[in-house]
Amino acid sequence: MLNAIIQGILLGGLVVLFACGLSLLFGVMGVINLAHGDIAVAAAYVAVAIVPVLHIPAIWIFAIVVPLFMVAGYIVQRLLIQPSLNSGPLTTLLVTFGLSVIIENLLLEIFSANSHSLAIGSLASSAFKLSSQISIAYLSLLILVVSIVVVAGVQLGLYRTRTGRIIRAVADDREAAELIGADYRHIFGIAAGLAFGTVALAGLSLAMYSQVDPSSGPDYLIFGFEAVVIGGLGSLWGTFAGGIVLGIATTIGLFLSANFGALAPHIVFLLVLALRPQGFFPKKVAV
């Protein structure tokens, strides 16, 4: 039982890395990106494709893929999401859904339906023991630490830097921010770049942690979304708590039966939705 909770906390780190970008895009633009999970999977596949070509250690792949996806995020925002925002919020939702289907089928055509993972040598399997029953994998711990650093970094960036201040200003009141000279389209692009970067990081971590296949994107989107709702909309630390709750629910569910392991986090989510729809750490202001 204690082991289930500890493994859940470790899994929660990965969930929050997914949810972070989702939360950011909704907070700043009011956009729900239905292609979020597929972008993570796409990042993993880009890594899988370039590692054998470049002959570099898998860890260096982060330095290539994450910036690549940040640029991609900015471009996708300016080319597709911005024009769709102008024709209404429902259009944006449908456009990101279309992107989700397009990315999934592109990956399917290029890489087949087989699952892939990123080989990182001994780090993937080594672990240390806390007691006779509880062992902690170095990789899971590393992902948890990275996710805490990323969430704290985004939070600090939003509150301590000039760009962060402008992002929050645009999120609070777009017209007023424009009056004082903020180019909201550029700011939206930066926010999308950040969101794509964090989700690419999540996708790479996932490919090291387990395996990805082209159709697994929506599952991660759903997990990230459930973490956001459980934690309370607009609160990154709430999302972190939500991710940990889902991780614990999964491992406890798996402890009971294989089928229940898949169902348990969704049941927890629906219960929270029914009993406490505002989540556990709701925030009154966006971002």
Partner 1 sequence: MTTFAKVKRSQHTSIPAGVLALLILLVLAALPFLVYQSVTNIMVNLFILLVLASMWNLLAGYGGLISVGQQAFVGLGAYGVLFLAQHGVDPFIAIPFAILVGVVFAVPASWFLFRLSGGYFAIATWVIAVVAEIAITGVPSLGGGTGAALPGLSGIDPVQLGADTYWASAAVGVLSIAVVFLIMRSRLGLVLTAVRDNEIGARSVGVKVTRAKLIVFLVSAAGSAAAGALIAISQLNVQAANVFNIQWSAYMIFAVLIGGIGTIEGPILGTVIFIVMQQELARFNAWYLIIVGSLAVVIAIWVKGGIWAQISERTGIRLFPTGYYVDTAEDEMEGKRLGRRRISKVIGGDRQSGQLSEAAETT
Q: What mask of x and - would describe binding to partner 1 in positions 81 to 100, judged by CB under 8 A?
A: --xx--x-xxx-xxx-xxx-
Minimum distance from CB of 242 to partner 1 (Å)?
14
Residues in 203-232 at the binding interface with partner 1, rule: CB under 8 A: 218-219, 221-222, 225-226, 229
Closest CA to 24 of 122, 151, 179, 134: 151
Ranges assigned E (strand) in the chain: 127-129, 135-137
Decide if 207 contacts 220 (C-beta within 8 A).
Answer: no
Minimum distance from residue 102 beta carbon to partner 1 (Å): 5
Instruction: Provide the minimum distance between the beta carbon of 53 and partner 1 in the complex, in angstroms, as a whole number.
Output: 24
**DSSP letters along 174-213, please?**
HHHHHHTT--HHHHHHHHHHHHHHHHHHHHHHHHHHS-B-
CB of 215 closer than 8 Å to CB of 113: yes
Binds partner 1 by CB under 8 A, chosen from 64, 106, 134, 137: 106
End-to-end CA distance of the chain, in Å?
35
Site for partner 1 in 248-267 (CB under 8 A): 259, 262-263, 266-267
**Site size for partner 1, by CB under 8 A?**
40
Sign of the C-alpha dihedral computed for residues 284, 197, 127 and 117 taken in this order: positive
Contact 40, 199 (CB under 8 A): yes
| Nearest distance from C-beta of residue 223 to partner 1, angstroms | 10
Q: Which positions lie near partner 1, rule CB under 8 A?
A: 26, 31-32, 34, 80, 83-84, 87, 89-91, 93-95, 97-99, 101-102, 105-106, 108-109, 218-219, 221-222, 225-226, 229, 259, 262-263, 266-267, 269-270, 273-274, 277
